[in-house]
Amino acid sequence: MGRQPCCEKIGIKKGPWTAEEDQKLVTFLLSHGHCCWRLVPKLAGLLRCGKSCRLRWTNYLRPDLKRGLLSEEEEALVIDLHAQLGNRWSKIAARLPGRTDNEIKNHWNTHIKKKLKKMGIDPVTHGPLAPATQPLALALAQQRDPPQVVREEERCDDDPSKQASSQGLAAVADEDDDVEETPASAAQPHGATTTSPASAAAGSVSPSCSSSASGADADADAAAWPGPIDLFLEVDGIMDMDWAGILSGCGDDDAADISGVDLFDHYAGDGFDEQVWM
DNA sequence: AACATGGTCAACCGCAGTCGC
DNA sequence: TGCGACTGCGGTTGACCATGT
């Protein structure tokens, strides 16, 4: 009757990923892409379930991911988007190139929630906290740093209908799924602080074989980033390209052949550093 | 120095939505 | 149209690390 488990539980490894597993997965996905996550672990020679592979890839291994804490601008944008979308982390993440839903969710729960509470703002409703706690919280907020985030939220609190127009996000509020219609530069107010050029192509650099890079912005950032990472930005759909040519030594039809290839060895000589990437 | 506590974040779980047959 | 397979999402957990006592 019930659903089949997403994978056979027996023999499936759980817990933290090892560097070797990461390498196998990255190598496999970069050379083959994924058509069916269920098959990925088998073909890549991993004792993981497909779900786990997908999660690892999307949350940690994707080359277009930014690492590190969210900037002030990103935080403000998250708060703004959360006010509009609620806990739709994937939708929020879609507006933050290079950030994952998991990362944003974690950051929200650990940092932003507290910040808002300190400021007397209910992180759920984005309205004022209950009267009993508000005075203390407000006092705290005034004593400490009440930067633009406060102003951001005050605007939201005053009139939720204004939220949509704030920061040029009207389109965001109107339509959930039209990411392409929102220019990356508009949804990313921190172009100057972009930590990874690959992030410029975030959303377009996806293993799901369907997206296309949006040219000009990506190119501009790519120009500032020497090395093979440029390839991510120049190709319409990372998985459509012939990765075998880049990852020399990777067989196209035999996963076992590629498992021994060190992806990062290829990049090391060209300014693409595993440590930086990670 | 040892232990306790709290914070952070990667990973897992289960449900819901979508797609193909 | 219904059913099963698969993917994606959001909530939650637990391990690890930093800080305080």
Contact present, A243 and A30 (Cβ < 8 Å): yes
What integer pLDDT is reported at residue A219 of this predicted model? 35
A147, two tokens: 């930067």
Q: Identify whether the C-beta of residue A104 lies closer than 8 Å to the C-beta of residue A92.
A: yes
Each residue's pLDDT tens digit in chain A (278 positions)?
333 445 555 678 888 888 888 888 888 888 877 778 888 888 888 888 888 888 888 888 887 787 777 888 888 888 888 888 888 888 888 888 888 888 888 888 888 888 887 777 777 777 776 654 444 444 444 444 433 433 333 333 333 333 333 333 333 333 333 333 333 333 333 333 333 333 333 333 333 333 333 333 333 333 333 333 333 333 333 333 333 333 333 333 333 333 333 433 433 333 333 433 43
The reply to whether the CB atom of residue A165 sits less than 7 A from any atom in nucleic acid chain B is no
Closest-CA residue to A225 (of A264, A273, A183, A271):
A271
Task: Answer for A51: CB within 7 Å of strand B.
Answer: yes
- A76 CA from C18 C1′ (Å): 27
| A15 closest-nt by C1' vs CA | B11
- Region A14-65+196-278: CATH code: 1.10.10.60
Q: What is the pTM of this model?
A: 0.58
CB-CB contact of A123 with A153 (8 Å): no
Domain ranges of chain A: 14-65+196-278, 72-174
